[in-house]
């Protein structure tokens, strides 16, 4: 297939629509994070117990990344994207009619497990497009992914406040159904040659991890960055609720809006991943995040400093994520779904570890503990990079550097 033909499959208008779909798909994972209090009241459960809902959604999502996303290397990803949207809509609506909290947890797991459309769309588009555009298009789609976190929290909170949590689910489910119907008519067929066996695909994932140095490196970079990101964000509400701020939850939530800066950085970083120095920019993004923790130590008790820390940390984190996935998009197109699956599983495992570390660091060392933990986590991949340079270990960056085994 010629490059021009590939580009016609995903015109700019369709790319932006898919960016919107990625945003709404990711938002599904975050609506209930801000609605837990209302949900707890609806089912008369303790607030601590209601937190299980967000946990099972995240667990379901991680398992979906591991077991569903690799199906893209076996079946037409067009069909998988549509199935993901329809199933997500089903579980969103099902959650509104569950008579008990236990059944709600089961439906929440189903929602997380099926909400993998964004991570199916990214390899679907990148593997069917001209290699010269992969990074820029990946950055555009990741803009939707990053906005999804913000939209999920903000839209979920406001709609839930004006109406109730069930209305949030019904509106989200209805929009997904409309999008699925439109994409049914607009999405092209997946032109990448497929593997013959899902079992073989799953068995190939560990060897793929062993054979692809770029995959291992991006998982390491991504997991460390997301872990450090959560080291800051998980204890942030305790900082804002305590002295000297004593802010309420409303003001705390507005700090998430600062994250739009990182979202805008995704498009810029996507173009950087198309160049010859993507690996170096990857490390620059990690150093940017380290600088944010240095800023935190210089004046966390000033709200202007906290805003600056949030801004810088988010820019570095989103740049790192975009550069990682841009580099992966240049690997063998026949492996893109598996590569994305392995990367995202490693990324979310790193984030889960960071959440635990952040809570412990703040409990035992307050802000100083957070700063130490964040800097250590981010220094590990930087040290790895420096050692690899010293040992003259060459990690390829460009499509021409890879031996394709299609």
Mean pLDDT of the chain: 82
3-state secondary structure the chain: CCHHHHHHHCCHHHHHHHHHHHHHHHHCCCHHHCCHHHHHHHHCCCHHHHHHHHHHHHHHHHHHHHHCHHHHHCCCHHHHHHHHHHHHHHHHHHHCCCCCHHHHHHHHHHHHHHCCHHHHHHHHHHHCCCHHHHHHHHHHHHHHHHHHHHHHHHHHHHHHHHCCHHHHHHHHHHHHHHHHHHHHHHCCCCCCCCCCCHHHHHHHHHHHHHHCHHHHHHHHHHHHHHHHHHHHHHHHHHHHHCCCCCCCHHHHHHHHHHHHHHHHHHHHHHHHCCCCCHHHHHHHHHHHHHHHHHHHHHHCCCHHHHHHHHHHHHHHHHHHHHHHHHHHCCCCHHHHHHHHHHHHHHHHHHHHHHHHHHHHHHHHHHHHHHHHHHHHHHHHHHHHHHHHHHCCCCCCCCHHHCCCCC
Give the chain's radius of gyration (CA, Å): 21
Q: Are residues 94 and 225 in the same domain?
A: no
pLDDT tier for residue 399 given thresholds of 50, 70 and 90? very low
Q: Are residues 253 and 288 in the same domain?
A: yes
Q: Are residues 42 and 132 in the same domain?
A: yes
Tokens representing 376 are 């250590």
pLDDT digits (tens, 9 = 90+) for 142-186: 888 878 888 887 788 788 878 889 999 999 999 999 999 999 998
Q: Quick check: is 109 in a domain?
A: yes
pLDDT digits (tens, 9 = 90+) for 72-96: 888 888 999 999 999 999 999 999 9
Ranking 38-52, 126-140, 189-203, 284-298 by mean pLDDT, the lowest is 126-140
Single out the residue in 146, 168, 186 at which a domain terminates: 186
Percentage above 90 pLDDT, the chain: 31
Q: Quick check: is 3 in a domain?
A: no
Q: Quick check: is 198 in a domain?
A: no
Tokens representing 16 are 């932006």
Q: Quick check: is 6 in a domain?
A: no
pLDDT digits (tens, 9 = 90+) for 24-58: 999 998 888 777 778 888 898 876 577 678 778 88
Ranking 194-203, 244-253, 327-336, 384-393 by mean pLDDT, the lowest is 244-253
Q: Are residues 146 and 235 in the same domain?
A: no
pLDDT tier for residue 265 given thresholds of 50, 70 and 90? low
Q: Are residues 301 and 245 in the same domain?
A: yes
Q: Are residues 226 and 321 in the same domain?
A: yes
Q: Are residues 29 and 149 in the same domain?
A: yes
| Residue 375: predicted pLDDT | 96
Q: Are residues 235 and 182 in the same domain?
A: no
Q: Quick check: is 207 in a domain?
A: no
| Number of structural domains found in the chain | 2
Q: Quick check: is 151 in a domain?
A: yes
Contact of 53 with 328, CB cutoff 8 Å: no
CATH code of the domain covering residue 70? 1.20.1250.20
Q: Are residues 224 and 316 in the same domain?
A: yes
Domain that includes residue 43, residue range: 11-186
Q: Are residues 261 and 390 in the same domain?
A: yes
Q: Quick check: is 4 in a domain?
A: no
Q: Are residues 246 and 367 in the same domain?
A: yes
Q: Quick check: is 205 in a domain?
A: no
Contact of 263 with 318, CB cutoff 8 Å: yes
Q: Are residues 139 and 232 in the same domain?
A: no
Single out the residue in 169, 186, 203 at which a domain terminates: 186
Single out the residue in 134, 169, 186 at which a domain terminates: 186
Contact of 91 with 111, CB cutoff 8 Å: yes
């Amino acid at each position: 297939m010629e490059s021009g033909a590939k580009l016609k499959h995903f015109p700019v208008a369709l790319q932006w629509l898919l960016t919107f779909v990625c945003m709404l798909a990711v938002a599904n994972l975050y609506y209930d994070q801000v609605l837990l209090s209302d949900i707890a009241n609806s089912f008369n459960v303790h607030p601590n117990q209601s937190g299980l809902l967000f946990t099972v959604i995240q667990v379901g999502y991680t398992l979906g990344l591991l077991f569903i996303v690799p199906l893209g290397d076996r079946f037409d990803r067009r069909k998988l994207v549509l199935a993901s949207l329809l199933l997500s809509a089903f579980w969103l609506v099902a959650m509104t009619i569950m008579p008990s909290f236990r059944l709600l947890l089961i439906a929440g797991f189903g929602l997380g497990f099926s909400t993998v459309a964004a991570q199916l769309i990214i390899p679907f588009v990148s593997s069917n497009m001209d290699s010269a555009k992969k990074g820029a298009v990946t950055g555009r789609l990741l803009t939707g992914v990053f906005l999804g976190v913000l939209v999920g929290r903000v839209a979920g909170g406001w709609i839930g406040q004006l109406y109730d949590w069930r209305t949030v689910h019904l509106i989200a489910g209805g929009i997904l159904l409309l999008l699925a119907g439109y994409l049914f008519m607009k999405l092209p067929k997946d032109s990448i040659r497929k593997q013959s066996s899902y079992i073989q695909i799953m068995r190939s994932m560990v060897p793929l991890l062993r054979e692809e140095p770029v995959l291992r490196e991006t998982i390491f970079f991504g997991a460390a960055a997301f872990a450090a990101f959560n080291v800051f964000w998980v204890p942030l509400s305790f900082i804002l609720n305590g002295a000297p701020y004593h802010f309420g939850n409303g003001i705390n939530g507005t700090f998430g809006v600062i994250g739009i800066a990182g979202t805008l950085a995704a498009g810029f970083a996507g173009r950087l991943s198309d160049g010859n120095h993507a690996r170096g920019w990857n490390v620059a993004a990690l150093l940017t995040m380290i600088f944010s923790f240095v800023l935190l130590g210089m004046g966390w008790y000033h709200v202007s400093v906290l805003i600056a820390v949030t801004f810088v940390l988010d820019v570095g984190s989103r740049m790192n994520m975009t550069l990682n996935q841009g580099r992966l998009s240049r690997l063998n197109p026949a492996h893109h779904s598996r590569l994305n699956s392995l990367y995202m599983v490693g990324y979310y495992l790193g984030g889960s570890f960071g959440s635990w570390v952040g809570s412990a660091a703040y409990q035992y060392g307050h802000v100083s503990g957070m700063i130490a933990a964040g800097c250590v986590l981010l220094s590990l991949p930087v040290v790895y990079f420096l050692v690899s340079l010293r040992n003259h270990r060459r990690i390829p960056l460009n499509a021409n550097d890879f031996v394709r085994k299609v």
